[in-house]
Amino acid sequence: MEIIAFGVQADERPLLVKAFAGRHQVRCLDVFLNRDTAPIAAGYEVVSVSVNAELRAEVLQELAAGGTKMIAQRSTGYNNIDLEAAADLGVTVGRVSSYSPYSVAEFAWGLAMAVNRRIVRAANRTRNFDFRLDGLLGRDLHGRTAGVLGTGKIGEAFTRIAHGFGMNLLGWDIAENPRCVELGMKYVPLDRLFAESDLISLHVPLMESTRHLIDAAALAAMKDDAILVNSSRGGLVDTAALVETLKAGRLAGVGLDVYEEEAGLFFFDKSLEVIHDDTLARLMTFGNVLVTSHQAYFTEDAVGQIIDATARNVEDYLAGRVNENTLVTPGQRPAAAR
């Protein structure tokens, strides 16, 4: 059969084709699946999408009407999919429940180090043969405190690196991770974590309960010279409140690989266009802010694991099987609804 895959990055394409070689053909598109592009999927039983797909009820209805019976999302998060609508339409939905946690954890640390040591500013200067050190003063992280929100696989990997730096460890999650506790992590309430942490890194999923977890009150509770890193989901941070915090001269640095309004912006070349998102445009003006385009997961290891899991999800669907990645099947309601 032929599978259609939306939102395929250039580096991802050969890996995706290879994963299905000898079994199925894959039509790879660089456009993302949304209301406007959904008609392209007509006639395809299996549709694969990226995390930036917009799979609201109306889009799912369009897909189902065109013959789509299975959606294989190439990501862990699935807050972009209306699972109730998929269940009502009899569409199977699969995701990738896990992949290399080191890809995201290591990138989060890359952001933290870059803003702490002013690496981007320094690199821009030296390209112009300006070798001054003015404005490049950073801080040792050894002996300081890292606050980790979410201590699952990625949060644990981040914590292990923080432990290697010799940092004090504070954690927050619905359940303690014993491996983090063994590293010396103390689980504390959010207000204490915000008040005592020099570096705060977000590794929780985006749900209604975590949306704008970092709001104006949370930002006010943080140290004036704290570093904030978000490599999880953009909606965890109230960006407008973050801008106001930065305008007040607070926070030593911010590293963001995600943005709450990134759909339609991230993964595209917008360099010749006028950006109408005033909040993002203002955020980009701060010298202590580093924004990257949702690339934390983008390593050979992680992408390979994501594609392998996606291929297995498709094969299991065709064989009538479910696995740990299955979110919805025609006979199964989404977990939240059961």
Catalytically annotated residue among 262, 282, 300, 324: 262
* In the block, residue with structure tokens 């064989």: 319
- What are the strands, taking DSSP E only, across 153-234? 168-172, 186-187, 199-202, 227-230
Q: Is 227 exposed, middle or buried (0-12, 13-18, 19+ CB in 10 A)?
A: buried
Token digits for 217? 């009150």
What are the distances in angstroms from CA 20 to CA 5, 42, 73, 330? 12, 21, 15, 24
**DSSP notation for 274-294:** ----HHHHHHTT-TTEEE--S
Cα 263 from Cα 101, distance rounded (Å): 23
Catalytically annotated residue among 160, 233, 261, 321: 233
Cα 312 from Cα 323, distance rounded (Å): 9
The answer to whether residue 262 is catalytic is: yes
User: Which of the residues are catalytic?
Assistant: 233, 262
